Amino acid sequence: MDFKYVPSTCPYCGNGCGVNLVVKDGKVVGLSPWHRNPVNEGKVCIRGNKPYEFVNSPDRIMAPLVKKGDKFEEVSWEDAYKEIAAAFKAVKGDAIGVVASARNSNEDSFVLKHFASDVLKTANIDYCGRRCNADAVKGLTDAFGNGATTNSLADLEQAKAILIVGANPLEENPLAGRRVIIAKQNGAKIIVADSRNTATAKLADIHITCNPGTGVALVNGIITAIIKAGKENKDYIAKHTKDFEKAKAAAAACTPEAVAKAAGISADVVTQVAEIFASTQPAAVVTSAGAGAGDLIRALANLQMVTGNVGKAGAGVNLLRGKSNAQGAADVGAVPGEGGLTVPAMIDAAAAGKIKALYVVGENIASAGPHVADALAKLDFLVVQDLFMTATAAKANVVLPSASFAERDGTVTNAERRVQRVRKAIEPIGSSKPDWQIISEIAKAMGHEKDFAFKDAEAIFNEIAKTVPAYAGITYAKLEKPEAVQWPAAGGVFGTQILYTDKFGTKDGKAAFAAVEYKAVEAAGGEFPFAAAAVWPMGTLSAHTSSIIREWPVPRVEINKDDAKALGILDGSFVKVTGKAGSITLTADVTKDIKKGVVGLPANVGAAVKLEKSTGGN
């Protein structure tokens, strides 16, 4: 019997928890948390505990598939490459789009970026995080100079106050949520803004049940109240920032009374939180890339500059990530080149007939809504590279089987900028291959063999370290220990734990305030009487993990018990949810843990929706 432990990194959220894959006779049969890893310290959540289940799923794509009529047929890799090469050569660069994934390794995304620019001659490359990461990354870049979390996750334990808005870490990023629990045990005041009474909200000392989409109003209101009380950190603002007056003027309309009206809360709570943040050091803010709007990130950055809560432990802007390599994909350049299209723009261009071919690597973009599926149907050619036959893959002309995280080497970069190893534990299942290898072989089939002759993943990473400044000095050898390296490496073994302790990453070394104005979202009322609050959706990996399916067998819409009673909707019944972006039928979760007039949705059909009773029920 061959038995071994292989250290790796969890493939789910952006925490980057360390895990040891348990391998018996060439098969991953279990998982043991990596106790020395500083991210999770030997703990894992339900997702991180069972990733071997999707690795061993019988639903894995085992061989290349080419669509013949309405059905897929297995073909050889060579035949699949010939078909792809011929189709891509027939399309001009600006008519081709490339979609990367925030779950792929840094090596995969780096090679894909160069394939897009050097082989396809297109600037139209973007990663799936565009829907939830891009504005947040740009917001942090504009404010501080780097599009990344300012602090280490462990720093949260040292905070004396934590404001959580646009995130639900105890359920979405549980090992980050653990740090919030420890902070509370250490005496920190926990403030949560959420229309849902989530597990995180139940931990809070102050739960602000604000309406969905009003986070900017709330944060601006806190800033305005601090300034009105004369408690802004004047010394910090003068020495380390610029454009304060612009931010002050833009936020001024958000008085506690105005915020109370927009958010559906008490004006007193805005003043209360302002008093806590103005008088407490250090204080941290926690949000997620899934919060979407860059305005919220800029408002939170403004708050931290107003109070001087940047560049120290227990402070900063802590941006949680939903996917394992959301940070790394942006770092290595899987973003549009000059004049290139974002993912949403590519979808619109496909719908208009301007994008003729699309290459999607490791992402189910059709899950974004029916409009995406309609756009994909108008393409002349679609290639999808994935582990499973997703809704996107089902529409493809060619489907290529990717190796899972357990079947390849590489690196991923977590939300706190920690570059960590993913190590090959078993041979690829079926005839699947690592994504970087597939991309390189397509390039060779298109006559670009010399530029894509990578020996292995490490050779690719060495190129990344040469071309991406933040990764300079990092090598696989330096990533062997569980602490790995947080970029920028700065010559140190374990890199940089806290950014901006001395100066910011901007040209002049100063942080830039932003004039962030609150823009009201689509109001609920009339045809669409309910406001929609985003709920963490179940993705491709979870849908093929049996332990998770047993816990959450179907997607659900959360409805306040009083609203459900008025509509005659029973818990467990089917409900049709309709918004301006489309409709979806979900199972009702009738609960007291959501604000009246708000529904929790794991799908985007609009900011305001209507509910229609369907069949069934407990």
CATH no. for residue 594?
Answer: 2.40.40.20
Sign of CA dihedral 58, 59, 65, 71: positive
Domain boundary (33, 55, 77) is at: 55
**Same domain, residue pair 47 and 118:** no
Domain boundary (55, 73, 94) is at: 55
- Which residues have CB under 8 Å from 489's CB, separation 6+? 471, 472, 473, 474, 478, 495, 496
Give Cα 588 to chain centroid, integer Å: 26
**Same domain, residue pair 426 and 287:** no
**Selection from 417, 334, 360, 379 nearest residue 140 by Cα:** 417
Q: What pLDDT is stored for residue 84 in this prediction?
A: 98
Q: What pLDDT is stored for residue 605 in this prediction?
A: 79
Q: What pLDDT is stored for residue 293 in this prediction?
A: 62
- Which CA distances in Å does 439 have to 150, 333, 342? 33, 16, 20
**Same domain, residue pair 313 and 166:** yes
Q: Are 173 and 320 in contact (CB under 8 A)?
A: yes
Mean pLDDT over the full length of the chain: 93
Q: Are 440 and 111 in contact (CB under 8 A)?
A: yes
**Selection from 385, 379, 336, 335 nearest residue 355 by Cα:** 379
Total structural domains in the chain? Answer: 4
**Ranges assigned E (strand) in 415-484:** 418-422
Place of tokens 């530029």: 451
Q: Does any domain span residue 513?
A: no
Q: Does any domain span residue 523?
A: no
CATH no. for residue 9?
Answer: 2.20.25.90
Q: Does any domain span residue 184?
A: yes
**Same domain, residue pair 138 and 253:** yes
Q: Does any domain span residue 515?
A: no
**Same domain, residue pair 435 and 545:** no
Structural domain containing residue 449: 65-129+343-480
User: What CA–CA distance (Å, rounded) separates 254 from 258?
Assistant: 6
Place of tokens 């060779």: 444
Task: Kindly calculate the radius of gyration of the chain based on its CA atoms and give it in whole angstroms.
Answer: 24
Read off the pLDDT of residues 372-413 as tens digits, 9 standing for 90 and up: 889 999 999 999 999 999 999 999 999 999 999 999 999 999
SS3 557: strand
Name residue 220's amino acid: N
Read off the pLDDT of residues 137-174 as tens digits, 9 standing for 90 and up: 788 999 999 989 999 999 999 999 999 998 999 999 99
User: What CA–CA distance (Å, rounded) separates 372 from 341?
Assistant: 15
SS3 138: helix
Q: Does any domain span residue 520?
A: no
User: What CA–CA distance (Å, rounded) separates 116 from 96?
Assistant: 9
User: What CA–CA distance (Å, rounded) separates 550 from 209?
Assistant: 30
Question: CA neighbours within 13 Å on the CB side: how many for 310?
Answer: 32
**Same domain, residue pair 155 and 261:** yes
**Same domain, residue pair 123 and 138:** no
CATH no. for residue 359?
Answer: 3.40.50.740
Residue 1 has pLDDT above 80, yes or no: no
* 209 band by pLDDT with thresholds 50, 70 and 90: very high
**Same domain, residue pair 425 and 285:** no
Read off the pLDDT of residues 540-588 as tens digits, 9 standing for 90 and up: 888 888 888 888 888 899 999 999 999 999 999 999 999 887 888 999 9
Q: Does any domain span residue 587?
A: yes
CATH no. for residue 147?
Answer: 3.40.228.10
Residue 291 has pLDDT above 70, yes or no: no
Residue 131 has pLDDT above 60, yes or no: no
Q: Does any domain span residue 499?
A: no
**Same domain, residue pair 225 and 368:** no
Q: Are 471 and 465 in contact (CB under 8 A)?
A: yes
**Selection from 398, 444, 376, 378 nearest residue 119 by Cα:** 444
Q: Does any domain span residue 490?
A: no
**Same domain, residue pair 19 and 168:** no
Domain boundary (250, 285, 320) is at: 320
Taking the whole predicted model, whether its pTM rises above 0.85 is answered as yes
Residue 77 has pLDDT above 60, yes or no: yes
Place of tokens 């598939």: 65
**Same domain, residue pair 285 and 138:** yes
**Same domain, residue pair 194 and 259:** yes
Read off the pLDDT of residues 328-339 as tens digits, 9 standing for 90 and up: 999 999 999 999
Read off the pLDDT of residues 338-375 as tens digits, 9 standing for 90 and up: 999 999 999 999 999 999 999 999 999 988 777 888 99
DSSP string for 3-18: EEEEEEE-SSSTT--E
